[in-house]
Amino acid sequence: MHLNSQAAAAAVRAVLADGAVTCLFQPIVDLDDGRVVAYEALARGPEGPLRAPDALFAAARAAGCLPELDQACRSAALRGAVAAGLLAPLTVFVNVEPDALDEAPLAALFPGVDELPGDLRVVLEITERALAARPAELLRTVARVRERGWAVALDDVGAEQLSLAFMPLLRPDVVKLDLRLVQERPGPAIAEIMNAVNAYAEASGAAVLAEGIEDATHLTMARALGATLGQGWLFGRPGPGAVRGQRTGSLRLPTAQPADGAAGEVSPFACLPETVVVREAPKTLLIELSKQLERQAMRLGETCVVAAAFQEARHVTPSTRQRYRDLVERVGFVCALGEGLPVEPLPGLRGADLAPGDPVRGEWDIVVLSPHFSAALLARDLGDDGPDLERRFAFALTYGRGTVVRAARALMSRVAPSGDAALPTAALPTAPLPAATRLLTGGGSPGDAVLARALAAVDTGVTVVDVRLPDQPLVYVNPAFEQLTGFPAAETLGRNCRFLQCPDTDPAAVARLRAAVTAGEEVREVLLNRRADGSTWWNECHLTPVTDGTGTVVQYIGIQTDVTERVDAERALAAERDRRLRSEARLAELDALLTVPGNGHTSVDSPAARRV
């Protein structure tokens, strides 16, 4: 039976009022010895349409009482664990929803926590969505959890690339692999996840837990991925308590780490160790160093976090805004801090307004962090007067991972929480569409409609960009463009077409396109682009300016052609040509070795001749 939204909202409120939330517990085993070392608490509603957790949480979200339900689930988990005797040496894994995180004390997240038995061991499970939505609150909550002696697990790693970027920031004691990693056929994405997770586990000592193990094949894959813990129907289904007859053991976790609860009180520059050499430089050099780190972040892509501090909002120039638009499109998480900066300085860019007394207010910082790369430019203003670009800073460029992580945590501990709604894209104007756009969309005369049908019928991608609107968004795409890229028009209109770029897109080609558009010139470039499914293709992009009656460029018409087969053939031909030239050069070298100078005859005594 399905409930309508109004009935579901009333039902979930009744569940909360009656305290009808319960928990089942699924075993987690040590893959080396088969012992049960922990149980995960899984929330359940009362018998009926809200029994399943997805239906229960969806109803709570619609009713606006998600935090209350989440708290009820955590309370039920802890009470149920104590009642079922899931105490040391066993451990209980408990989930927390991102929306439940706030500045309240730990007791607000876990009512009655001080009354719990001392031998109740807890691992708090969180997802990368929590850090992306409320970074400051989550980092403070994690610090409070660690102060109590509990551990932290990062859940669903691999479901989103961003989880890989956030691993070093959260420092989880347990990394939980998304079930698709053990149940699906291996591919490049799974290899990338395995690479990042194993690197983190090796460096930190964290345990790796594979979910969704239902048969021997899944178990083999879990071991191959580096998992030391397993969870799934092969070991037991969720039940009211401990599995009978199972051997138990203790969960092995890395050495307890310091709480680091004061991350929001220190500045990135203060994170520099005394052994790091601090130099002086004018702002002009810092700008170029920042650009270099930004380019590195673009190559790292969706598994990368970028955090920056600009002192004041006025230092975020139009050129800086353009660069950070590109970063937002291609990097997993980007934030920028400065006095006067709003919560969202650009679509998708997280921000924070720095108070005048905040020590970060006097710094120029940029931090780039990914699973296999870390770098930070940390600089402090020396207080010079005079031209802005000549102001001097004390600075250090560091690649020490510990320092970079601390600096990133210091900046993210100041980022304002995002709203509940999805981050907006650049909105289209409500004013009447320009003549060229009306022509293409069929909003004008009958002749315009004929042209619109013709463009819809061609098998080449056609786009229109309005250069007068902020960030030069797409205002028209034809059906062939949707088929070519895999992105429906609803996901492309209003966005700058840079979302098609990938980490391997040639930045020089992009720069040439941008320079031509700025100059109002026609341009043609071949770019590596990505489709909605993540695959790549070579796009021959031909951009032609459209002018109004005064000769001012108002739009660009783009023709997008898939030339992947041509590029692959050209590369194969070039590779074969290089191979032939290398072979000819080697033959020439051998010929010179085999020929005796002066008589033109081959020496039978030479090693080369004997080998021949």
CA distance 80 to 603: 90
Question: What DSSP element (H or E) covers 404?
Answer: helix 401-412
Decide if pLDDT at 147 tops 90: no
> What pLDDT, in 10s, does the model give residues 212-237?
999 999 999 999 999 999 999 999 99
Decide if pLDDT at 606 tops 50: no
If you average pLDDT over residues 44-66, what whole number do you get? 87
Residue that is written with structure tokens 């109740």 in the block? 120
> What pLDDT, in 10s, does the model give residues 111-120?
667 777 888 9
pTM for the whole thing? 0.68
DSSP codes joined into one string, 8-53: HHHHHHHHHHHT--EEEEEEEEETTT--EEEEEEEEE-SSSTT-SH
Q: What confidence score (pLDDT) does residue 605 get?
A: 46
Decide if pLDDT at 64 tops 80: yes
- Greater model confidence, 136 or 564: 564
If you average pLDDT over residues 505-521, what whole number do you get? 86
Q: Is 540 exposed, middle or buried (0-12, 13-18, 19+ CB in 10 A)?
A: middle
CA distance 463 to 481: 7
Q: Is 573 exposed, middle or buried (0-12, 13-18, 19+ CB in 10 A)?
A: exposed
The answer to whether 90 and 37 are in contact (CB under 8 A) is yes
- Greater model confidence, 172 or 572: 172
Residue type present at position 518: T
If you average pLDDT over residues 509-526, what whole number do you get? 88
If you average pLDDT over residues 440-466, what whole number do you get? 67
Task: For residue 165, report the phi and psi dihedrals to the nearest 5 degrees.
Answer: -70, -30
CA distance 537 to 485: 9
Decide if pLDDT at 510 tops 90: no
Contacting residues for 529 by C-beta, under 8 A, at least 6 apart: 485, 500, 501, 502, 505, 536, 537, 538, 539
The answer to whether 78 and 116 are in contact (CB under 8 A) is yes
Q: What confidence score (pLDDT) does residue 362 get?
A: 93
Q: What confidence score (pLDDT) does residue 313 get?
A: 87
Per DSSP, helices labelled H in 50-119 are 53-63, 66-83, 106-109
Q: What confidence score (pLDDT) does residue 548 get?
A: 85
- Under the banding of pLDDT at 50, 70 and 90, the label for residue 265 is confident
> What pLDDT, in 10s, does the model give residues 557-599?
999 999 998 888 888 888 888 888 888 888 888 877 776 555 5
Weakest-pLDDT range from 180-184, 460-464, 608-612: 608-612
- Greater model confidence, 548 or 417: 548
CA distance 382 to 306: 24
If you average pLDDT over residues 340-354, what whole number do you get? 88
Q: What confidence score (pLDDT) does residue 103 get?
A: 44
The answer to whether 2 and 52 are in contact (CB under 8 A) is no
Decide if pLDDT at 152 tops 90: yes
Structure tokens at 506: 């040639």
